[in-house]
Amino acid sequence: MTKTVLLTGGAGYIGSHTFVALREAGYDAVLLDNFSNARDDVPDRLEIITEAPVTVYRGDVRDRALLARIFSENNIDAVVHFAALKAVGESVEKPLDYIDINVTGLTALLHAMREAGVFRLVFSSTATVYGTPEIWPIPEDLPRSYTNPYAFTKLTCEQILEQVAHADPNWAFATLRYFNPVGAHQSALIGEDPQDIPNNLVPYIAEVAMGKREALRVFGNDYETPDGTGLRDYIHVEDLARGHVLSLTQLLTSGESHVVNLGTGTGSSVMEMLAAYSRAVGRELPYVNVPRRAGDVPVLVADPAKAEALFGFRAEKGIDEMCASSWAFVSRRRNG
């Protein structure tokens, strides 16, 4: 029988790609989103891509009455919880908002799930729970820490899930630690669409390529890395979405919790990403060297072995495909 999955934050960047991957894998999915960081036309675009109607609930994940209604109107088997705030810098300014939306959002959802008798949840976590790691590639059992309120909320959520699972064996959770998701769907209909000035590297380069920003500011070129710039594990968002499907299927079939990294195992520098994006656009994109950004770590690269061993996940797409798909998406959007 077809399983139905609720995606909180399902109109967002990773949520929308996961929606498509779930549908392709034979799941049905229902979206909940408050559209605070997603465009209103995302559901229409998802209907075009998947050639089927999309059920969308517009609202806040902390709204217990709305959650109860969603569970009563749909036969939900599991939840994938994306809805959260995610900008590190903003979290330093507004820690309470981050705690409220990210932590209270999770607990509201868990209450509603328990009341509805739904005990399977996939949780969006982040490599940032590794703090300032001394080693790489990073295995899942490295001690966790946080260096900003955003990371604090994600680590707290991981710990809440551990406590809840420990207290009640009905629950099973998949905790997915994302590295750096970039790129866009092959249709170029959905992709990363920041509403403000982009914080992250690839959306910023995209705006340089579009002529909206003058030059990429390279935050530090004196790290102990091959070219002196920060090294990250960039993962194509379509690979990441597929990772969710495999993780969810594993969770539903085994009934056992798991915690895995979703990354490629390969580090790319800021200069390598700029070069890859320049190849996608067909011209050299300008950059300037500026001092290091506060809070950045030199290297963050996943050990991806556990996800492969547990449910056969292996990222397939490289940085050229990531940058080409990002450019296809932003160029298409610019042209309406």
Give the residue numbers annotated as catalytic, written as ranges.
150
The span from the CA of 328 to the CA of 336, in Å, is: 12
Ranked by CB distance to ligand UFG, the top (closest) residue is 230
- Least Å distance, CB 52 to ligand UFG, is 31
| Choice between 8 and 180, CB closer to ligand UFG | 180
- Least Å distance, CB 103 to ligand UFG, is 16
Yes or no: say if 255 and 183 are a contact pair by the CB < 8 Å rule. no
| Choice between 57 and 178, CB closer to ligand UFG | 178
| Choice between 122 and 208, CB closer to ligand UFG | 208
The span from the CA of 169 to the CA of 256, in Å, is: 10
Q: Are strands 268-269 and 231-232 parallel, antiparallel or unpaired?
A: antiparallel
| Choice between 113 and 270, CB closer to ligand UFG | 270
| Choice between 102 and 249, CB closer to ligand UFG | 102
The span from the CA of 58 to the CA of 221, in Å, is: 43
Yes or no: say if 229 and 167 are a contact pair by the CB < 8 Å rule. no
- Least Å distance, CB 136 to ligand UFG, is 12
- Least Å distance, CB 123 to ligand UFG, is 14
Burial (0-12, 13-18, 19+ Cβ within 10 Å), 126: buried
Interaction site with ligand UFG (CB under 6 A): 86, 88, 126-128, 179-180, 199-201, 204, 216-219, 230, 232, 270, 293, 296, 300
- Least Å distance, CB 38 to ligand UFG, is 17
Q: What is the dihedral of CA 155, 156, 157, 161, to 10 degrees?
A: 100
The span from the CA of 30 to the CA of 24, in Å, is: 14
